[in-house]
Amino acid sequence: MQSSISLSAVVAALSTLLPYALATESLEGYGRDAYEVPCGQACTWSVPTMLDCPEFEGLSEDELALAYPSPACMANDTAYLTTIAWCIKSRCDESTKPSKIEKFWETKMIVGAESLRYSYAEALAEVDTKNPPEPMSPEELVLNRTITTDDATYESFINSVKGYEASGRNESKYSLVVFLSCVLIPIGFSLFRFLPIPASIKSKFYAYFIDPPAWGKRHSVPTLGLGIIPTRGQALFILYIIAINAVATFEGYPNFSPNGMFPDRRYDLMRQIGNRAGVIAFANVPVVMLYAGRNSLLLRLTNWSHSTFLLLHRWIATICVFQVVLHSLMWLRMMVESDSHAEAVTYNYWYWGIVATVVFSMILPLSMLPIRKAVYEVFLILHICLAVVALVGSWYHIYYLYQDTSGFEIWLFVAMAIWGYERLLRILRVSRHGIKKAYITRIDDKYLRVDVPDVDAHGHCFVYYPTLSWRIWENHPFSVVNCSKGQGQLGGDTTTSSSSSQTQSENEGTISAAEGLTSKEVGGTTSATHPVATPNENIRPGITFFIRPQGGFTTKLAKKADTGVGVPVLIECSYGHDDRSRFRPTPEYPNTLVIAGGVGITGVLPALQSSLSMFSRPLGTTKFYWGIKHRGLVDAVKSMIVGEDTSEEKEGNGQASNWGHIEAHVSIGSRMDIKQVLTRELENVVGGTTVIVCGPNQMCDESRYVCAGLARHGATVRYVEESFSW
């Protein structure tokens, strides 16, 4: 059912792009050639524009020197048209088809002209070939006869055409390289997981190049409260993104000299770099959208996490903003130096360019981690609104600048299609279950239990509480696993979920289950899908999750506890864990070691459920370490896994106890020694071990660092961290 919904949504979303793709121009050099007749364009630029136009009547000599003829004047001036026609006949070789010349003459020679007085053939017929035209003399102030252009002038302007062509091709080439490589490289590298590489080699490779922080010991804990240090694997791809964008922005500017249009090489470079930066920024926009979506196709085609793509989203968005600013600064400098700024600000394209640049520049400081953590919901709405305004400003900027089309708008169409695909899939996922009722029960003074009957899900879901806030778009993530309640072990036909109910309204940012320990708004949750009390042959699936109220929406939920009145909810599911065997033991990794801290239990229940082999028996050991402050959640989770506990012995001192096939170590009110646990469990174990960790950021960072160190010294480890990120 879920896969069919997803496939239908993909087809529907991609079909929305088709009309726009057909309507837009192709990229320069890739299906589009703005200079199909280079010699004709060079001739047009070579011919003087000192015409005797009706609009010039009454102008002084100084005013006349600054005046430029209108398209209508040029289109009706016989001397101007015959001079261009003679130049084309003289300069264009036989390889230039007459049909192309006619098309150029009618459509591109004089921009803005509704019709020309003569066709190309008619203008050429007006030339007296018995008396070949002569060059214009310095004494002639007005073009009132057919003239010939000198070789030096023509050569300088044919170089200008070559420069424009090379610049346009390079803009298209590098924009395609940036976009396609940022999409295809994650897919390509993810395919390496299917190669038959020995687990010991793979473990060491990950320990050296993928899992550890790029430097230091911290990854999940923000540095100076401003941002996280990427892992080495993430850092390698981030370095590639920076490098390819730098090359795409600053490489490939050939010098065709002399240049009639831009004789000053410095000015020409500023123009080309400014234009290139703007084009590459456009190509980055759909990548920014693609990396942000929780329905992104890349999440299905790769084994990269949503948190990784969100990190990449922020990095490439930062690069995009810098390119936008560079584009604007280059053109501002050129306009100021040429004394054209006062005139430029009166044009619509310049005005909208200012709007887009200012709004793009606002997005960065307003998206910093301290702001996201302090006022996440405000940040989210502001973030989306600013992004929309920035894209609208960009659209009108190129719309008014290129009155026909430029080809650049295709990047905006792709970005809009990706955004529409994301929203469409969310609507379809929500509509799958419709409006359900959530029933809240207080477990103790620290935790709430929320039951939602008649929902079947896996992976993790997002829950909307439309009646608890006017912000009906707010949603909260929780994880889902399969569990048979009360059978002494995980497994069976019903569904159990464990969740992280951190406030999270859109894909642009999510909040870690571990972060919930310090979040002002929401507490962590864990959930289970359970059979509602009906005969076994008519099991009604449902999900249950546990919440630790810490203010915000959870306080509102607490007020509904034990009332017996259902709270309307919408369930957006299912996400992640599409491969049900993701955590399942394999011959290479027969052992499972699960470490949870506090409400980090929410992210590891899927691993406990999957720790049985496909034959419902363990291949190796399954061990579970959990450090938590209060017992209430422990009893609830244990009863969910193994049924009601009738023994008098209670866990809590860190000693081993059996939860079905799971060896559980629960420490209540005391902190686990992560290094000691990992060293003991990984050094002497037989076979490889999958280590799954979810909890406070400090615990995750320590686990990551220790696992990498042990793997470098011979332990066979597959490290998995279950968390969301801000």
What are the backbone angles phi and psi of residue 177, rounded to the nearest 5°?
-60, -45
User: For residue 431, what are the CA distances in angstroms to 408, 426, 436, 460, 656?
Assistant: 36, 9, 11, 16, 44
Whole-number pLDDT of residue 699: 94
pLDDT band at 725; cut points 50, 70, 90: low
Residue 407 has pLDDT above 90, yes or no: no
pLDDT band at 620; cut points 50, 70, 90: confident
Taking residues 279-285, report their average pLDDT: 97
Taking residues 108-127, report their average pLDDT: 92
Whole-number pLDDT of residue 140: 87
Answer yes or no: are the C-beta atoms of 683 and 710 closer than 8 Å: yes
Whole-number pLDDT of residue 560: 86
With a CB cutoff of 8 Å and minimum separation 6, the contacts of 632 are 443, 444, 446, 447
| CA angle in degrees (0–180, nearest 5) for 353-354-359 | 100
Whole-number pLDDT of residue 18: 53
Whole-number pLDDT of residue 259: 94
Taking residues 597-613, report their average pLDDT: 75
Question: Is the model more confident about 492 or about 319?
Answer: 319
| pLDDT tens, position by position, 628-677 | 888 888 888 887 777 666 555 566 667 878 888 889 999 998 889 999 99
Identify the CA nearest to 622 among candidates 592, 587, 666: 592
Taking residues 557-573, report their average pLDDT: 88
- Segment 333-340 long-range contacts (CB within 8 Å, at least 24 positions apart): 333/270, 334/267, 334/270, 334/271, 334/274, 337/267
CA–CA dist 576, 499 (Å, integer) = 13
Tokens, residue 83: 């001079």
Pick from 183-197, 443-457, 607-621 the range whose average pLDDT is largest.
183-197
Whole-number pLDDT of residue 516: 37
| pLDDT tens, position by position, 224-270 | 888 899 999 999 999 999 999 999 999 999 999 999 999 999 999 99
With a CB cutoff of 8 Å and minimum separation 6, the contacts of 655 are 665
Whole-number pLDDT of residue 141: 83
What are the backbone angles phi and psi of residue 601, rounded to the nearest 5°?
-55, -25
CA–CA dist 295, 428 (Å, integer) = 11
Question: Is the model more confident about 446 or about 147?
Answer: 147
| pLDDT tens, position by position, 385-405 | 999 999 999 999 999 998 756
Local structure of residue 560 (DSSP, 8 states)? T
Whole-number pLDDT of residue 100: 94
Mean pLDDT of the chain: 84
Place of tokens 């002494």: 488
Whole-number pLDDT of residue 199: 94
Whole-number pLDDT of residue 496: 42
Residue 567 has pLDDT above 70, yes or no: yes
Determine the angle formed by the axes of helices 199-209 and 232-250, rounding to 10 degrees: 60
- Segment 152-158 long-range contacts (CB within 8 Å, at least 24 positions apart): 152/258, 153/46, 153/260, 154/42, 154/43, 154/46, 154/87, 154/91, 155/258, 156/258, 156/259, 156/260, 156/263, 157/41, 157/42, 157/43, 157/45, 157/46, 157/260, 157/261, 158/38, 158/39, 158/42
| pLDDT tens, position by position, 422-461 | 999 999 999 998 999 988 888 887 788 888 888 887 778 8
> Where do you find CATH 3.40.50.80 in the chain?
591-721
Coil, strand, or helix at residue 530? coil
Whole-number pLDDT of residue 602: 75
Residue 313 has pLDDT above 90, yes or no: yes
Whole-number pLDDT of residue 513: 35
pLDDT band at 88; cut points 50, 70, 90: very high
| pLDDT tens, position by position, 488-510 | 344 444 344 444 433 343 333 33
Whole-number pLDDT of residue 233: 96
Tokens, residue 305: 């996490």
Question: Is the model more confident about 175 or about 612?
Answer: 175
| pLDDT tens, position by position, 28-59 | 767 778 889 999 999 999 999 989 898 888 88
Answer yes or no: are the C-beta atoms of 516 and 548 closer than 8 Å: yes
pLDDT band at 12; cut points 50, 70, 90: low
Taking residues 701-711, report their average pLDDT: 96
CA–CA dist 31, 22 (Å, integer) = 12
CB-neighbour burial class of residue 171 (10 A; exposed 0-12, middle 13-18, buried 19+): buried
H or E element that contains 495: strand 495-496
pLDDT band at 8; cut points 50, 70, 90: low
Domain 591-721 CATH assignment equals 3.40.50.720? no
pTM over 0.85: yes
Taking residues 200-204, report their average pLDDT: 95
Whole-number pLDDT of residue 273: 97
User: For residue 624, what are the CA distances in angstroms to 222, 617, 646, 693?
Assistant: 27, 17, 21, 10
